[in-house]
A and B are shown apart, each in its own frame.
Chain A
Amino acid sequence: MVVDLTGRDDSLDSTLIQRWKEGDERAATTLVERHSTALSRYVGSMGERDAVDEVVQDTFVRAFSSLESFRGDSSLRTWLFTIARRLVVDRRRALRRRREVGNLDEVDAATEYTALDGLIASEAKKKVWGAVGKLSPTQREVFLLRVNEGLSYKEIAEVAGTTEGAARVHYHNALRTVKENLNE
């Protein structure tokens, strides 16, 4: 059987979830394969490059722990992004607390893309990262969820905890800013 690994077929997710509930462990593997790439890209774009593995794994563990109660009001993909985002926010909060007590090596998570990645990246990539990096955190998150993951404004609103209208405005403002930055 050829399995769609793009993660966009919600009905396939429902089928896999049902199979997992009935005890088919292979369905869990397929679900992870379908969504782990997009999740790791999202977590990486949030500035958590060094913790992608950990955050993505925690996301799936949390999701599967409460999959019995997943009602499918939103798509599995949107739900996973929401969990991942919450984990990133919690992680940042914990890091901030540790910084406040002064026992943390200062690392600016938002600029991690310019460190090791910058050494091997093409000029074009660096230019795009620079342009996107000038966006506000909210604009950047909305913009990348729309462009990279193809989420609708409604899905973005669910993930980012905002409204559909606000997500649309953030996207278009971000797009305008990126265009300007690339043309500089």
Chain B
Amino acid sequence: MNDCLNVEIRELLPEYLSGALSASRRAEVDAHLATCEDCAEELTVLRLVREAYADTPAVNVGAIVAALPRKSARPAMRSWRRNHALQIAAAISFIALGGMSLAVARSFFTGNPTESPPDSVVVNEAPAISFAGGVSDLGDEDLEALLSALETIEALPVTETVDPPIGGTGRQGS
């Protein structure tokens, strides 16, 4: 038995045997095998080898699966958090901004700026506040004033700071 000089085809014989070739490649090998005795014999040898080792020692799939580490929920939650980090950050910012807005609104309407100056927000201490009659009860001037006050806190840092002296600039960390 000699080695065929068509190395490309010979290299395809194991894949041909395992059925891993595309239809076109398989047809190419078939055409070659029809005319090449050496490759046909080589394929026979490879087939004999595969058949000789075909009887695989049995393994207990159920036992293997039972021995596998359980997939806990925590990594999945970590993965979920990682995938939604932007949304979570946005939600936290929105809630924090809402709390700050309420604090500012309260100081605006109570006329007591020392209670919660714009740059001394302590988020977890922001008092719950409600408009007695709702925003719809505010007049045009009051609404404009409220919007102006909200605009001044857009660039506020999110970190907690110590109360500055009254009459501070209202801006930090820019």
Contact = CB atoms under 8 A, between A and B. Distances in A.
A and B together in one complex: yes
Interface of A: 8, 20-23, 25, 28-29, 32-33, 36-37, 39-41, 43-45, 49, 52-53, 56-57, 60-61, 64-65, 68, 124-125, 128-129, 132, 143-144, 146-148, 150, 175-176, 178-179, 182-183
Main secondary structure of the interface of A (DSSP, over half): helix
Contacts, number: 105
B75 A150 contact: no
B70 to A, nearest CB: 8
5 contacts: A60-B67, A143-B49, A147-B17, A147-B50, A183-B1
Contact of A21 (B51, B58, B79): B79
6 A-B pairs with least C-beta separation: A128-B52, A150-B18, A52-B57, A125-B52, A41-B56, A64-B68
Interface in B33-88: 42, 45-46, 48-53, 56-61, 63-65, 67-71, 73, 75-76, 79
B17 A20 contact: no
A53 B57 contact: yes
B1 A179 contact: yes
Interface in B3-35: 3, 14-15, 17-18, 20
B13 to A, nearest CB: 9
Interface centre among A20, A43, A45, A146 (most CB of B within 10 A): A146
Interface residues of B, number: 34
Contact of B75 (A8, A49, A65, A68): A68
B52 to A, nearest CB: 4
B75 to A, nearest CB: 6
Contacts of B63: 53, 57
A40 to B, nearest CB: 5
B3 to A, nearest CB: 7
Contacts of A65: 69
Contact of B68 (A28, A53, A143, A178): A28
